[in-house]
Structure 1
Amino acid sequence: MSEKEKLIEVKNLKKYFNVGKGKILKAVDDVSFDIYKGETLGLVGESGCGKSTAGRTIIQLYNATSGQVIYDGEDTQVKKSAVDKKSMKKKMQMIYQDPYSSLNPRMTVLEIIAEGIGNHEVQLKSKEKEARVYDLLESVGLNKKHANRYPHEFSGGQCQRIGIARALAVAPEFIIADEPIAALDVSIQAQIVNLLQELQQKKGLTYLFIAHDLSMVKHISDRIAVMYLGGVVELAGSEDLYDNPLHPYTQALLSAIPIPDPKIERTRERIILKGDVPNPMDPPSGCRFRTRCPKAMQICTEIVPEWQEVSSNHFVACHLYKQ
């Protein structure tokens, strides 16, 4: 993977929210990883771990508290002119979790998809924009007959296809898919994931795929990063992470994946985590996972574990692997 060209470099990214009375919510706290051109990086973790906030901060829907997001060698956090900001927004797009709430109910499908085209390519005539929208609808498995309908006339899966077409409308290089299948029926989820993979191959797209469905993340991702309470605790290739999880939190997550055939003997012991996720406004000292970790040691209460490469392209933050 090191031979590939980096598209995104996330360095020590932090996103804190002031929730009043002097309290600070550390949603994303010192997160670092790279995303290579043409790959899919999966980002997984429990609800509330900060993965969606990380995605929205990378794409600048939220302003970062500190840290850097470098896109193709350019620091996106540096103040830019309106023209440069517009150019950057065209390169990065987002697919949202809820296909219904992400689409304006008062706009037709044609208007929804053409809106981005009109903002970034003002020279295009109406007929040209319409033709572009029809092509986009075809590319996501719909047709031009759907263009004059409203979002409420479609199923969840169809609405998500419209959301994908909208994201593709300005020809981006990088797409953040924020749990794009979580609100869909199981029968539709595989169709959407297969569509995303087809579009990636055809258009050379790069994805950050945020999800909590671990089996689906393995299917679509080249590498996977695991988040817990605002920080990344492990990062490795998809197969490597599933075959050899190092961090106790990753091991617990993977042990919870159901086996589709009950006749197959479970080879991985089920790990039940005790206690609740700590309050992100008052995280534990040292390792944030120590209050639930079955392998916690004294050092875990005192020192934050270092981010280290334990084996080739397999990174972990855990005192069990202190070098």
Structure 2
Amino acid sequence: MAENMNLPADNTAKGQGQPGKDRLVEVKHLKKYFNVRSGVLKAVDDVSFDICRGETLGLVGESGCGKTTCGRTLLGIYEATGGDVFFEGNNTSTMNKQLKKDFKRNAQIIFQDPYASLNPRMTVSDIIAEGMDIHGLYMHKERQERIYEMLNLVSLNKEHAGRFPHEFSGGQRQRIGIARALAINPKFIVCDEPISALDVSIQAQIVNLLIKLQGELNLTYLFIAHDLSMVKHISDRVGVMYLGCLIELATSAELYKNPLHPYTQALLSAIPIPDPEAEKNKQRVVLEGDIPSPINPEPGCRFRSRCRYAKAVCSEKRPELKEVGPGHFVSCHLY
């Protein structure tokens, strides 16, 4: 049974982190382009944001908007086309060998599909210990004790250590993936849609587990997801992406209360309300027009073909992400 959920100016110079908090991750003008047959696919195009130590930054948007590519490029799984990523003040692209190794240990990922992300030929014990073996941590007896500790941390039993992934449910497999990520004491975890492949009854359990672990281990998350209600529940701040661009960024409470970008307004208006009467009477923002191709995009705002407020400047110049209120950034010519 699911656990109970209680739903509660120049950005590159100034940063978008919460005032007074230590920035763990800084992303500056990050770009990731792919060469395809018909041109250049700009999956992530000049994206900048900060993540403070101990916070959760949610990243939302439609499928294909570049959320996962952004997270993987940030970690170095994909080589960036341009821009910089700083971890604890060090540029990940110019780190020396030791700093790079430390970054690889401190920055981990939980993958979307727990069925595809676990090697079916490896036991749970070897899956969890894979990172420990690579980094030379917890040798011999300590290694097995650490595996049992990780299993207990994600509410699994030590008897599970000798089994194979096919013997577990989707939710249990995702717990194994979380245990693998935590085994080498990371500081930062990219949660790449960690609940989208799971039954609804299990999703809240996994999210609440992540929140619990964050409090106990002082973890920092980039939480990528489609489920806007879940993102609101887990995130301190939320960024909205559209066709490779970050178009709005604010605290969770502010974004859901006062969305400014027309796309964000449409996105939030689609969230179902668990009250039939309120759901029937709520005002939906319906998007019209064609979705432009992210391959060889034209100058200007990527959203203009679907925007009811589009004007001439929207076709000529791409709007910058600027601060329009305390900690509230938006990329739109309306502001």
What's 1:98 paired with?
A: 113
Structure 2 CA distance for partners of 1:262 and 1:268, relative to 1, 3 Å = closer
Shift of 1:306: 2.0
Equivalent in 84, 88, 108 of residue 103 of structure 2: 88
What's 1:169 paired with?
A: 183
Shift of 1:313: 0.3
Query: What amino acid is aligned across from residue 112 of structure 2 in structure 1?
Result: Q
What's 2:329 paired with?
A: 315
Equivalent in 65, 72, 91 of residue 56 of structure 1: 72
Retained in 1: the 8 A contact 2:123–2:161? yes
Shift of 1:79: 5.2
Shift of 1:167: 0.2
Retained in 2: the 8 A contact 1:259–1:266? no
CA distance in 1, matches of 2:204, 2:286: 28
What's 2:264 paired with?
A: 250
Shift of 1:266: 6.1
Retained in 1: the 8 A contact 2:59–2:238? yes
SS of the equivalent of 1:158 reads helix
Equivalent in 14, 34, 45 of residue 31 of structure 2: 14
What's 2:10 paired with?
A: none
Pairwise CA RMSD: 1.2
Query: What amino acid is aligned across from residue 16 of structure 1 in structure 2?
Result: Y
Shift of 1:115: 1.2
Moved more, 229-238 or 265-274: 265-274
What's 2:13 paired with?
A: none
SS of the equivalent of 1:25 reads strand
What's 2:22 paired with?
A: 5
Moved more, 167-176 or 125-134: 125-134
Deviations 1:113-158 (A, max 9, x none): 0111111125x43321111000000000101011111000000000
SS of the equivalent of 1:93 reads strand
Query: What amino acid is aligned across from residue 154 of structure 1 in structure 2?
Result: F
SS of the equivalent of 1:291 reads helix
What's 1:148 paired with?
A: 162
SS of the equivalent of 2:304 reads coil
Structure 2 CA distance for partners of 1:140 and 1:39, relative to 1, 3 Å = same
Retained in 1: the 8 A contact 2:272–2:279? no
CA distance in 2, matches of 1:173, 1:119: 17
Retained in 2: the 8 A contact 1:209–1:221? yes
Query: Is the counterpart of residue 108 in structure 1 residue 139 in structure 2?
Result: no
Equivalent in 55, 58, 63 of residue 42 of structure 1: 58
Equivalent in 129, 141, 144 of residue 127 of structure 1: 141
Query: What amino acid is aligned across from residue 61 of structure 2 in structure 1?
Result: G
CA distance in 2, matches of 1:319, 1:32: 18
Equivalent in 44, 68, 71 of residue 84 of structure 2: 68
Retained in 2: the 8 A contact 1:11–1:33? yes
Say how many residue pairs are matched: 318
Deviations 1:288-318 (A, max 9, x none): 1000111111111111112211110000010
CA distance in 2, matches of 1:68, 1:202: 30
Please give the residue correspondences for 1:184-195 in structure 2 after superposition, counting only pairs within 5 Å: 184-195=198-209
Structure 2 CA distance for partners of 1:219 and 1:267, relative to 1, 3 Å = farther
Query: What amino acid is aligned across from residue 30 of structure 2 in structure 1?
Result: L
SS of the equivalent of 2:84 reads strand
CA distance in 2, matches of 1:268, 1:319: 27
Query: Is the counterpart of residue 197 in structure 1 residue 214 in structure 2?
Result: no
Shift of 1:267: 6.9
Retained in 1: the 8 A contact 2:31–2:46? yes
Retained in 2: the 8 A contact 1:305–1:317? yes
What's 2:4 paired with?
A: none
Q: Which ranges of structure 1 fall in alignment gaps of 5 or more residues?
A: none
Please give the residue correspondences for 1:21-40 in structure 2 after superposition, counting only pairs within 5 Å: 23-40=39-56
Please give the residue correspondences for 1:191-230 in structure 2 after superposition, counting only pairs within 5 Å: 191-230=205-244
CA distance in 2, matches of 1:118, 1:265: 52
Moved more, 176-185 or 301-310: 301-310
CA distance in 1, matches of 2:180, 2:139: 18
Retained in 2: the 8 A contact 1:95–1:177? yes
The sequence identity of aligned pairs, in percent, is 64
What's 1:292 paired with?
A: 306
Moved more, 271-280 or 205-214: 271-280
TM-score, structure 1 normalization = 0.96
Structure 2 CA distance for partners of 1:305 and 1:267, relative to 1, 3 Å = farther
Retained in 1: the 8 A contact 2:54–2:214? yes
